[in-house]
């Protein structure tokens, strides 16, 4: 049986060779995708940070099984920090492989060689396999698209709006195929945070290169890209979800994070209506 299908049926103990095969399949499937991929207009589940919580990835899988015409956008941050990092990322990659028309896995700031080396994934992979297997996963990070955009004006990415971007081409022209996220536009798409203040951009406590985007930046970006809604993840909110800018930006977090969060998945229904799903 197809390896990704075996993972979806509960196989968690992959060999190094099987990981190489799984990530290789994802690379082949994703390397031709644009930086900003087209996402469906309706009936889409948006999944926020998973951070190695397999239970949350399994809940997402169940939603896909229960509704056969639904799609799913994973907003990044699959490993690091949590208890079952290898199993969680394998499940997300397997969903992306098995349902290429229904599932898209975007890149988060933790899908970067330097960050994954620091926040747990490298050690998790090294203790179970070897540093070579970590490199295999990093070769998968670099093919993940940076954002999604639907024809009815729904934008999605892990972090948010990058400073200085006014056209879609500016994002599409980024060379994303590096293990480490370095390009400033790619970096900000995966790192930036929103704030309700009436300003464009301000420095972010997360460090140099990352910015906070305020209401003015959001409104200008939304106008340039003709947006109706935006989904992002990246930030911990106790209820697992937080809206900004009169409900036009929805931030979602899908892992419990040591019981600090009531994890959520957001369902976009017809007419831009939103349902919150408690995991
Ligand atoms: Mn993040």
Q: How far is the CA of 220 from the centre of ligand 1 (A)?
A: 24
Residues of the chain with pLDDT under 70: 1
pLDDT digits (tens, 9 = 90+) for 114-159: 999 999 999 999 999 999 999 999 999 999 999 999 999 999 999 9
Give the pLDDT score at 1: 66
Alpha-carbon span 162 to 232, nearest angstrom: 13
Q: How far is the CA of 253 from the centre of ligand 1 (A)?
A: 10
User: Cα-atom radius of gyration of the chain, to the nearest Å?
Assistant: 17
Q: How far is the CA of 160 from the centre of ligand 1 (A)?
A: 11
Q: How far is the CA of 236 from the centre of ligand 1 (A)?
A: 9
Q: With contact defined as beta carbons under 8 Å apart, do 140 and 93 qualify?
A: yes
Give the pLDDT score at 198: 97
Alpha-carbon span 118 to 22, nearest angstrom: 24
Q: How far is the CA of 1 from the centre of ligand 1 (A)?
A: 34
Q: With contact defined as beta carbons under 8 Å apart, do 187 and 209 qualify?
A: yes
Give residues whose Cβ lies within 5 Å of ion ligand 1: 77, 108-109, 234
Q: How far is the CA of 231 from the centre of ligand 1 (A)?
A: 13
Q: How far is the CA of 256 from the centre of ligand 1 (A)?
A: 14
**Domains of the chain and any CATH numbers:** 3-278 (3.60.21.10)
Q: How far is the CA of 169 from the centre of ligand 1 (A)?
A: 24
Backbone phi, psi, residue 28, to 5°: -60, -40
Q: How far is the CA of 29 from the centre of ligand 1 (A)?
A: 24
Q: Which helix (H) or strand (E) holds 276?
A: strand 274-278
Backbone phi, psi, residue 242, to 5°: -155, 135
Query: 254's torsion region: left (phi>0), alpha (psi -120 to 50) or beta?
Result: alpha
| Active site (annotated) includes residue 110 | yes
- Predicted structure pTM score: 0.98
Vertex 42, ends 189 and 279: CA angle to 5°? 75
**Tokens (6 digits) for 202:** 């301000």
CA torsion through residues 13, 18, 22, 24, sign: positive
Q: Where are the alpha helices (DSSP H) in 67-119?
A: 85-98, 113-118
* Catalytic member of 51, 55, 61, 110: 110
């Amino acid at each position: 049986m197809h390896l990704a299908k075996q993972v979806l049926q509960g196989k968690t103990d992959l060999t190094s060779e099987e990981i190489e095969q799984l990530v290789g399949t994802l690379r082949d499937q994703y390397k031709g995708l644009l930086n900003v991929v087209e996402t469906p207009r309706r009936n889409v589940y948006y999944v926020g940070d998973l951070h190695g919580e397999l239970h949350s990835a399994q809940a997402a899988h169940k939603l896909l099984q229960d509704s056969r015409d639904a799609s799913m956008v994973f907003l990044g941050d699959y490993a690091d920090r949590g208890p079952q990092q290898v199993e969680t990322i394998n499940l997300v990659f397997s969903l992306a492989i098995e349902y290429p028309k229904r599932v898209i896995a975007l890149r988060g700031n933790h899908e970067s060689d330097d960050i994954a080396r620091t926040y747990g994934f490298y050690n998790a992979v090294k203790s179970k396999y070897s540093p070579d297997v970590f490199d295999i996963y990093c070769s998968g990070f670099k093919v993940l698209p940076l954002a999604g955009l639907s024809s009815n004006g729904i934008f999605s990415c892990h972090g948010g709006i990058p400073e200085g971007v006014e056209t879609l081409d500016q994002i599409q022209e980024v060379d994303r195929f590096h293990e480490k996220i370095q390009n400033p536009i790619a970096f900000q798409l995966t790192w930036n945070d929103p704030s309700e203040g009436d300003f464009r951009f301000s420095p972010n406590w997360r460090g140099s290169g990352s910015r906070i985007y305020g209401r003015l930046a959001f409104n200008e970006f939304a106008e340039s890209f003709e947006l109706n809604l935006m989904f992002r993840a990246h930030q911990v909110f106790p209820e697992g979800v937080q809206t900004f800018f009169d409900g036009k930006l929805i931030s979602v977090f899908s892992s419990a994070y040591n019981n600090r969060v009531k994890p959520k998945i957001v369902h976009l229904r017809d007419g831009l209506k939103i349902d919150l799903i408690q995991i």
